[in-house]
Amino acid sequence: MPLIERFAVCLLVTASAFTQAQSFATIDVKPALSVEPQSMRVRVLPNGDLIGTSVNVITLINEGYDVPSNPSERLSNLPSWVYSEKYDIVAKASSGAKQLSSSNPNATKLIRDMFRQVLTDRFHLAMQVEDKSMPVYALVVAGNGPKLKRSTLADCIFDTAPDGCHSFVIGFGHPLNARAIDMDDLAHYIENWTDLPVVNRTALTGLYTVSTEGWRPMRLPPPPPNGAGDVDFTQLPNIDTILGRLGLGLRKQEEVLPIYKVEHIERPSGHR
């Protein structure tokens, strides 16, 4: 294979493979008290605690490794229970953990490392990773410039609640409705329904409030067991139309991205 296509082969990513900038003193994972969809919430607090209710493991992987929650070529070899089983998580920051701030330019990496620590410590996740050149959509600013509204939300680190930050409110056709997201969040979210990976190349910084109608997916994940697989999205606009109203667009190009294969993962046993 051409050298450019594979820059690193079969590197095993475990807890010892990266340095934790924020570490947890204790991580407690239990079966969720409620499995209702509206119960799901994940928060990272300024003191460095991570609190999750009714969270499935694919959400932890999605946030920790910047891959779609929906099945994609960027993540493989997952057992079915990472989608179906839900957990309540309380990860308490160590005494030496630094106070987190939404203005910290390293906040995104710190949060991803926190999710990875929960995965490696309590689910014993080990990933095989290789970098591969592939076609992607680059999220870019359109010719007339961005048409985005700055968010007024302050001091929110990460919170999937409807009035939280760095997450989107679920709706028909996955509209782009969020109170405080950055462009990495936007690229990460729409990648769940595009036919190619999406990377942020806007150079825009800060948090924004967005509100759009739903859009027609380029691809759909398999329907859940006993779920409806015949939802009609044909009357919705495409993603190019929706992004165009925000002064953004997608441009096809080649990029090198990490591809992950799960080497090991297990349900948590015991509690800490």
Q: Is the pTM of this model over 0.85?
A: yes
- Average pLDDT score, the chain: 88
* Whether 60 contacts 120, CB under 8 Å: no
Would you state the pLDDT for residue 39? 92
pLDDT tens digit string along 206-241?
999 999 999 999 988 766 544 456 788 889 999 999
pLDDT for residue 96 = 76
**pLDDT for residue 228:** 53
- The model's pLDDT over 144-179, given as tens digits with 9 standing for 90+, comes to 999 999 999 978 899 999 999 999 999 999 999 999
Asked if 102 contacts 154 with a C-beta cutoff of 8 angstroms, the reply is yes
CA angle 41, 47, 53 (to 5 degrees): 15
Cα(162)–Cα(169) distance, integer angstroms: 6
Q: Is 9 exposed, middle or buried (0-12, 13-18, 19+ CB in 10 A)?
A: exposed
Q: Which token pair is 88? A: 């309540």
Judged by average pLDDT, the poorest of 3-7, 48-52, 248-252 is 3-7
As given in the structure block, the two tokens for residue 157 are: 């680190």
Q: Which among 154, 57, 51 is positioned nearest to 101, based on CA atoms?
A: 154
Higher pLDDT, residue 226 or 93: 93
Q: Are 53 and 34 in contact (CB under 8 A)?
A: yes
For residues 59-87, give the mean pLDDT: 95
Q: What is the per-residue pLDDT across 218-227, written as a single tens digit (0 to 9) for each?
A: 988 766 544 4
Rounded Cα gap, residues 205 and 201, in angstroms = 11
What's the half-sphere exposure (Cβ side, CA atoms, 13 Å) at 237? 12
* Pairwise pLDDT comparison (71 vs 200), residue with the higher score: 200
pLDDT score, position 16: 39
* Among 197, 268, 223, 259, CA closest to 28: 268
- The neighbour count for residue 243, using CB atoms within 10 Å, is 20
Q: Mean pLDDT over residues 73-81, rounded?
A: 95
Average pLDDT over residues 107-123: 93
The β-bridge relationship of strands 126-141 and 198-200 is parallel
Check whether 20 has a pLDDT greater than 80: no
